[in-house]
Structure 1
Amino acid sequence: MTRVIGLTGGIASGKSTVSRMLATAGLPIVDADQVVRTLQQPSSQGLQALEQAFGRNIITATGELDRSALGQLVFNDDQQRNKLNRIMQPMVWNEIWQEVDQFRKQGIPWVVLDVPLLIEEHYDRDCDLVIVVAVDRAIQRQRLMDRNHLTVDQAEARIVSQMSLEEKKRHADIVIDNNGNLQKLRQQVEAVLKRLKEQ
């Protein structure tokens, strides 16, 4: 039987780092961001739906999605963000569970769903284990500013546009604390892997 681990966190909380560590340990990852990119390739159904909803300005001269233009539209506007989610989430949902089914057919024991909106879009209901990667707000903001070259206000706007990490933690079976260094993070991931082997 294949069991499903839901992995989530907030922006700049370290979820992708944890995901890479789990992948290195041999767990297959279904990456929602990768699924979204595939669904938004030039000439795809997803990209056509986005162009129809948000206009030609979100398409580059080479026919690709201009992610930063779309980001500017949706990050500070709940209505626009909800519109984006209504378009993309049903497609993403179908694709993710199709990928999980492929792993089930292979009899793989554990598969990881790396999904930023795991709880918001209710993927957690179909997971056997939910892991939330959490970090203090000040550290999260600073990491986001450093990583994306944002001002304090821009970083804060992106953080508040998401469900809070405190709320996400309430849905978690395991919380990974990423306030420390990489070594501390790795130790916690190793403890999770040990728990999975025991199960």
Structure 2
Amino acid sequence: RRHAVVDAALLVQWKYDKRMDHVILVTSTAERRLRRMGKRGFDREEVRRRSRLQLSEAELKRHADMVMTNDGDLDGLRVKAEKLYRRLTGIS
């Protein structure tokens, strides 16, 4: 069986969550999101504007099968994601 990972902030708004076997929400603090987006060239107001257009974290959690917290660096998140992927796909 083949597997695919879809990274889409608007997955629930687009109603694509219904097409997925698993929906995993990756959360982070507002301050961490602001810092990361700032490193990508977005100012604080643009980040806030984009956040207002998205569903709340509480609403997204209602659609998620699992929640992963992104509270570290990219390498730490990668390790968490790989472990979860192996668990879900049965790949060791």
TM-score bucket of the superposed structures, by smaller chain: 0.7 to 0.9
Alignment TM-score, normalising by the size of structure 2: 0.79
For residue 164 of structure 1, report the CA deviation from its aligned partner.
2.1
- In structure 1, the residue matched to 2:75 is 183
Structure 1 residues 153-162 or 122-131, which shifts more? 153-162
Separation in structure 1 between the aligned mates of residue 22 and residue 42 of structure 2, nearest angstrom? 34
Q: Which has the higher helix share?
A: 1
Which blocks of at least 5 consecutive residues in structure 2 are unaligned?
Answer: none
1:163 to 55, 65, 71: 55
Q: Which has the larger radius of gyration?
A: 1
2:9 to 106, 116, 134: 116
- Alpha-carbon deviation of 1:186? 1.9
Tell me, yes or no, if structure 1 residue 196 matches structure 2 residue 88.
Answer: yes
Once the two structures are TM-superposed, the CA of residue 114 in structure 1 deviates from its matched residue by: 2.8
| Aligned-residue CA RMSD (Å) | 2.0
State the match for 2:30 in structure 1: 137
Structure 1 residue runs of 5 or longer lacking an equivalent are 1-107
Shift of 1:113: 2.7
Name which of 148, 161, 186 aligns with 2:41.
148
The answer (yes or no) to whether the contact 2:28–2:70 under 8 Å persists in 1 is: yes
Q: Provide TM-score, normalisation by structure 1.
A: 0.41
Q: For this pair of structures, how many residues does the alignment match?
A: 91
SS at match of 1:114: coil
Judging changes above 3 Å, is the alpha-carbon distance between structure 1 residues 149 and 118 closer, same or farther for their aligned structure 2 residues?
closer
Counterpart of 2:64 in structure 1 is 172
